[in-house]
Structures are given as C-alpha cells and as structure tokens.
Amino acid sequence: MGNLSTTDVIIRKAETADVSALTVLILQVWLDTYVKQGVKKSIADYVLSELTTARTTAYLAQDHTHILLAEINGHLVGYCQTLNGKRNAQVQGEHQAELDHLYVHPAFFGRGIGRQLLAEAEEHLRAQGVQQLWLTAWVGNDKALRFYPRAGYADIGATIFRMENEEVANRIFCKTL
C-alpha cells in the first residue's frame, strides 16, 4: 500500500458501490474502539446483527442520512454519518441533527481527517437549516472525549446505550452551527 499522505485526502458523498469497503471500515474502527477486553456474546451478537452490508445499504437509502467518505489514493480511511432531523430531548432548539458516526481508520488518527469530515458534515447540515448538531460518545473513548470539545462541542449530559441487556454509559455533546 505504501505511505499514504493526508494531503491527498478526498472527501466525497458515499455511493452504493462503497458499501462493502465502508462496512469493513465500520467493523474495523468499531472493534478497535470498543473491544478492549476481548469479545463476549453481547458484543459478537451486536456486531453480527448491526454492522452489516445490509445495514449500511439501508442507511445510504434514507433521505435524512448523509454519509461522507474520506479517501486517500482510492483507500477508504474515514467516514462521517449524520441523521438530519434526529432529535435529542437534552438538546435545545428545533432544527437538530445527530452526528451518528465519525470514524477514522486507526492508522490515520491525528492527521486531521476527522476534522475535515466533521467540517464538511457541519457545512452540509448548516445549508439544510440545522442549528444544533449533537452526538453521543462512549465514556471509555478518551480520544473522542478530547476531540469533540476541541472541535467546539459542549458536553451537555449523560445517556445510556443499550446492547442486549447491558447498559453502556455515554456522554452527549452538542454544537450550535
């Protein structure tokens, strides 16, 4: 593969032809982020049911979903998914969207790819009339908990992500666009 330079990053909208590569990136980043103590049944069941090409294809088909990809020399290195109109009761304002995912391949952390994807997503949503962009971040994801405040997001509270019968603590972040 060689050494890929972030100066060659192309940000573009996802297409149906991207589904398999995007799903593999999602799996890789999700597992790298959340599976720190080995795999247990609840994690395996979640991954095998939720992180699939069928699910990625379904997201691409939704009108309110916007998926951006970051590529370097034809290699997918990051993606950002927003859900326009997704509301959170803890967020003030009528015109909200959720930053559902912002994933960067671990080999490309710290190179500004996440910031590029986030800036493009924010601009797209701003043009759609969105005023508040919110997200949840797992309390064990130190990189995310540092990244979002530096990108202008305020920590506004806590929430729980449910995976089977387990409750996983998350923080809610929000930014006024």
pLDDT tens-digit readout, 116-137: 999 999 999 999 999 999 999 9
Between CA 165 and CA 41 the distance in angstroms is 11
Q: What is the model's pLDDT at position 3?
A: 56
Decide if 73 is inside a domain: yes
**Residue 24 is part of a domain; what is its CATH number?**
3.40.630.30
Cβ(84)–Cβ(67) below 8 Å: no
Decide if 113 is inside a domain: yes
Decide if 2 is inside a domain: no
pTM: 0.90
- Percent of the chain as helix, strand, coil, to the nearest 5: 40, 35, 30
Helix crossing, 53-61 with 19-34: angle to 10°?
Answer: 110
Q: What is the model's pLDDT at position 1?
A: 46
Chain segment 126-169, per-residue pLDDT in tens: 999 999 999 999 999 999 999 999 999 999 999 998 877 888 89
Decide if 1 is inside a domain: no
Q: What percent of the chain has pLDDT over 90?
A: 80
| CA-wise closest residue to 90 among 156, 16, 170 | 156
Decide if 3 is inside a domain: no
Q: In total, how many domains does the chain have?
A: 1
Cβ(79)–Cβ(67) below 8 Å: yes
Decide if 90 is inside a domain: yes
Q: What is the model's pLDDT at position 36?
A: 85
Q: What is the model's pLDDT at position 84?
A: 95
Chain segment 67-110, per-residue pLDDT in tens: 999 999 999 999 999 999 998 888 988 899 999 999 999 999 99
Decide if 72 is inside a domain: yes
Chain segment 27-62, per-residue pLDDT in tens: 999 999 988 888 989 889 999 999 999 999 999 999
Q: Lowest mean pLDDT: which of 7-11, 22-26, 66-70, 173-177?
A: 7-11
Decide if 66 is inside a domain: yes
Range of the domain at 127: 9-176
